[in-house]
Structure 1
Amino acid sequence: MKYFTYERVSNPAQAVEAFARTPGARYIAGGTNLIDLMKLNIEAPPHLIDVNRVGLERIEDTEEGGLRIGALVRNTDVATDERVRTGYPVLARALVSGASGQLRNKATVGGNLLQRTRCMYFYSADLPCNKRQPGSGCAALEGLSRNLAVIGGSDSCIATHTSDMAVALRALDAVVETLNPDGNAREIPIAELHVLPGQTPHIETGLRPGELITAVKLPKPVGGTQRYLKLRDRASYAFANVSIALVAHFEGSKLTASRVAFGGVAPKPWRVEMAENDISASPNPADHVADIAFNGAMPTKHNAFKLPLARRALSVLFREMQPHPDGV
């Protein structure tokens, strides 16, 4: 780990002001990802700005009937909040699926959204990685790519985004609130927060330099039956091969509407709203969604299994969630 300086701030305005004074600084809260990256010399920020005491650790009701979750609320506290468990169960389920209890107790909402990929080549400093060192190449393209993207990648990067929470938030149409170093606040739809790699995979979000996430805002609960399914190589402390956040609405036993977001398959939470249109008219909703959502997929020989896996898993979810016609 290289030399760095450290500063503790007491409110969001101080945080963004501190960043503006020190180019290349990084905000730190739980540190569950950043500290590891610093130890491995993947990241070497010259200055750390501790935001743990800036007052963003509350979950509050909004006037619109939704929730505002502060960026510093720990993952465990979100997952166990009764308002989240009853109004947004897909989010609670997604959070409980992530990492381990110890990490969830420390990790924050803002940090969860901004965690970096776990691509093995990104973590291997002796191998080329455009995300780590722009222009160096992508070793994953010809290497082992079992856990990498099947869609949304490019010839510069096929790394996946690893947050379970972000997949659920994508299905819920959450909005991310931020504060810029110029003092202006803005709201970013979760669909626009993470960006595809294209030829600039080192640019992972639409945040401006020094922009601080202050909260995640959830709209009024959408109801329906909600599930989060995570398929992985072991039962815990593993990232998804495929995950699915599903919100389904039924009239009797007939599916009338759904929201479907996938994780583990792309550089960002993957939801294609067009795939959800006309789903009530489809005899096989899983195939209907998968055909559209994964149109244009370019899997490698190592991760091609993710496409049928996602399709079958979604089919199982729809079948399990469908009410019995007799109400039994």
Structure 2
Amino acid sequence: MVPASQVLEPLRRTVRETSARLDKQVTLELSGGEVRLDRRILDALKDPLLHLVRNAIDHGLESTEERRAAGKPEAGRLTVRLEPRGSRIAVVVEDDGSGLSPSRVRATAVRRGLLSADEAEKLSDAQAARLVFQPGFSTREQVSATSGRGVGLDVVQATAQRLQGSVDVAFTAGRGTRFTVDLPLTLAAALGLLVRTGTTVSAIPSDSVNRILRLNPDDVGTVAGRVVARLDGEQLTFLPLAEAIGLPRLPLALDSGNVQAAALLTVGEDKVLFAIDEVVGQQEIVVRSLGRHLKGVRHRRARRCWTTAAWCQCSTRRSWCARRGQRRARWLARRRGLASSCVTTRSPRASP
């Protein structure tokens, strides 16, 4: 465990250089440097914090003239703080700028082909705000040293998910934007629910599983080209787990008119039903990278199941959705981390 000041203090230089390049006055406030975190988490936080700070200065804080006209202090205020919350930590990056513009985000999403105009119009402001985490998303038309390259906030979300955390955004028009990254204090083994689809056993983080249930054929239908299941008065997206993790689609019990087992996953406020064959059990798992030698492997990350020394592979949501390019994949891309939660387990021939 190491103090968070190791990643907070270098942000002072980042703020000085970025504000000078953009000709903006910025006051940086840091707090929580005494909080101690797992070194792996702290190291992984470096790039996401840089992206959030640069994003706040470039997109959030107004120019000196704009702030003066709005009756604000000429120097924008940028706060980066760590807030311990039991066994977890909240990393907050907050500015007192103009606030995120949902309408501008919607327009950008439509222009870049992420959504149709009708889909964008149906999004609430909170849902529209989360589009900033989409890969390649940027409201800047021109590329600069700071913005427009389409690399940034998607890195923040991907890192948070990899560290068993999440990221959220809140805003108030004319008053500022706040990004909150919720993370564990340490990377410990997570409890996974083992489920079988065909001959493949997959592990789903237990804290994402709402419940296991059985669906009748009458419970499943199609709405606007999307397969849905009716559950407790709601229409939820229904998807075979094998398809979600990049495996060939397997016949479902529903196809022959039989009852189908399914796992209801909850991530934030979103719910999705995945078709499975059966629940095998529970097991502790720890996320591990495949390493640089296998970095070219697509759609997979490695997981080690310590209790059985079995090797696992997990499909990454981002690459899977990019590969499919379908409307349903776009919809799933807005559902945070569901596909990336699934790991395919195979027993190794020999321990490395």
Which TM bucket (shorter chain)? under 0.3
Q: TM-score, normalised by structure 1?
A: 0.25
Q: Which has the higher contact order (CA 8 A, sep 6+)?
A: 1
Q: TM-score, normalised by structure 2?
A: 0.24
More strand by share: 2
Name the larger-Rg structure. Answer: 2
